């Protein structure tokens, strides 16, 4: 029996955590999943370079509205950086454009040199990146052969743990905030040590509350659909993730649930002023609410239709 496709408006609201393969853009992953699920109501919560693998968070149905709340948070990357070579893209996809010496550093020395990049730093994105420059993506300008000078952006790096140092290659786990480019970190690290460097491999292990251990590949999704799995079986309810990301929740009684899903404010006596996950008495996620100073809880995102 053919699988019955829900309408776009009725497609299950949830999260699909993809282990992105090498060589495909984030939008390419979205396009493939749209074809597999036969719906347009899919979006991603933050891009990942084509040369990178790992966690890519996708939202389905009404849950696409949760991207601003679930697409952020700290990112964790496992990367291999090669010192002594620069490339045109700051990663292994580009051509080698400059060479230099390999740092004569001990493991302790190379680890200590990473401290220069901890905390808030001003970082210039790679020329081949999705950053906008004068109304156009930087990578399009660069691929035309035109030069592009991007402005530094303030980013935050929480930790750089050097796991291996086998010159010229270094393996590190980097924990950082949204907007940080590991390719820029590699480039700048090389310059800091008087040479060049670029990213050889990059894998995102965590994005906010989402971890690689819970991810699934596109091939696995295709196989499960072929075996008769329903769309709902492959889409994870976003409730637990939203509660973890926002750090708070409120549960509504049946009357307030009806008011909330119709877009109306409800009474909130918590005394708090924050943004919370809103659930009904059964634990079903209704959406996102904002606690206000007048003692009300205002709907910001509503997932459940009235």
Question: Which tens digits make up the pLDDT trace of 179-188?
Answer: 999 999 999 9
Residues, the chain, total? 306
Q: Are 94 and 143 in contact (CB under 8 A)?
A: no
- Identify which has the larger pLDDT, 191 or 145: 191
CB-CB contact of 241 with 107 (8 Å) = no
pLDDT at 282 over 90: yes
Statement: residue 252 has pLDDT above 60: yes
The residues, ordered by sequence, that sit 6+ positions from 77 with a Cβ below 8 Å of its Cβ are 52, 54, 173, 174, 176, 182, 202, 203, 204, 205
Q: Which fold has domain 8-72+210-239?
A: Pseudouridine synthase (3.30.2350)
Q: Which residues contact 151 (CB under 8 A, 6 or more apart)?
A: 124
pLDDT at 126: 86
Q: Residue 9 — very low, low, confident or very high, per pLDDT cuts 50/70/90?
A: low
**Which residue ranges does the chain devote to CATH 2.30.130.10?**
248-302
Which pLDDT score is estimated for 12? 85
Burial of 273 (0-12, 13-18, 19+ CB in 10 A): exposed
Q: Give me the active site residues, please.
A: 49
Residue for token pair 């996950």:
277
Which of the four pLDDT bands, split at 50, 70 and 90, describes residue 259?
Answer: very high
Question: Mean pLDDT in the chain?
Answer: 90
Query: Do residues 67 and 61 make contact, with C-beta atoms less than 8 angstroms apart?
Result: no
Q: List, as one string, the DSSP characters of 212-262.
A: GGG-B-HHHHHHHHHTT--HHHHSB-SHHHHHHHHS-EEE--HHHHHHHHT
- Which CATH superfamily includes the segment(s) 75-207? Pseudouridine synthase (3.30.2350.10)
Q: What is the pLDDT of residue 1?
A: 44
DSSP state of 196: -
Rg of the chain, C-alpha, whole Å: 22
Q: Which two tokens stand for residue 206?
A: 């965590």
Mean pLDDT of 88-94: 91
In the chain, ranges of CATH 3.30.2350.10 domains = 8-72+210-239, 75-207
The confidence band for 101, taking pLDDT boundaries of 50, 70 and 90, is: very high
Chain centroid to Cα 68, Å, comes to 11
**Which pLDDT belongs to residue 163?**
99
pLDDT digits (tens, 9 = 90+) for 200-225: 999 999 999 999 999 999 999 999 99
User: Structure pTM?
Assistant: 0.90
Rounded CA separation 111/113 (Å) = 5
When pLDDT is cut at 50, 70 and 90, the band that residue 72 belongs to is confident
CATH of 248-302, one of 3.40.50.2300, 3.40.50.2000, 3.90.950.10, 2.30.130.10: 2.30.130.10
8 or 159, greater pLDDT: 159
Ranking 6-10, 112-116, 154-158, 238-242 by mean pLDDT, the lowest is 6-10
Query: How many Å apart are CA 142 and CA 145, to the nearest integer?
Result: 5
Helices (H), the chain: 26-37, 67-70, 107-113, 138-143, 182-192, 218-226, 231-234, 239-246, 254-261
Lowest mean pLDDT among 32-46, 78-92, 249-263: 32-46
296 CB-near residues (< 8 Å, 6+ apart): 265, 266, 267, 268
């Amino acid at each position: 029996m053919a699988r019955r496709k829900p309408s776009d408006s009725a497609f299950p609201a949830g999260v699909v955590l993809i282990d992105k393969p090498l060589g495909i853009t984030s939008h390419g992953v979205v396009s493939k999943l749209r074809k597999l699920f036969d719906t347009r109501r899919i979006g991603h919560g933050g891009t990942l370079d084509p040369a990178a693998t790992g966690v890519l968070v996708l939202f389905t149905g009404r849950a696409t509205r949760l991207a601003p709340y679930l697409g952020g948070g700290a990112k964790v990357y496992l990367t291999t950086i090669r010192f002594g070579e620069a490339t045109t893209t700051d990663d292994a996809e580009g051509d080698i454009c400059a060479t230099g010496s390999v740092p004569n550093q001990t493991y302790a020395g190379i680890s200590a040199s990473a401290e220069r990049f901890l905390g808030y730093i001003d970082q210039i994105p790679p020329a081949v990146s999705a950053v906008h420059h004068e109304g156009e993506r930087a990578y399009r300008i660069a691929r035309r052969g035109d030069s592009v000078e991007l402005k530094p952006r303030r980013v935050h790096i929480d930790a750089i743990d050097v796991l291996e140092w086998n010159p010229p290659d270094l393996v590190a786990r980097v924990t950082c905030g949204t907007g940080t480019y590991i390719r820029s970190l590699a480039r700048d690290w090389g310059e800091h040590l008087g040479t060049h460097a670029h990213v050889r491999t990059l894998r995102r292990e965590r994005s906010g509350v989402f971890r690689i251990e819970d991810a699934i590949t596109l091939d696995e999704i295709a196989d499960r659909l072929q075996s008769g799995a329903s769309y709902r079986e492959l889409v994870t309810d976003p409730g637990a993730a939203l509660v973890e990301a926002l750090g708070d929740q409120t549960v509504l009684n049946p009357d307030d649930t009806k008011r909330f899903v119709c877009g109306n404010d409800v009474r909130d006596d918590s005394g708090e002023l924050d943004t919370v996950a809103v659930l009904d008495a059964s634990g079903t996620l209704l959406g996102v609410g904002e606690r206000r100073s007048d003692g009300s809880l205002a709907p910001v995102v509503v997932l459940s239709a009235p």
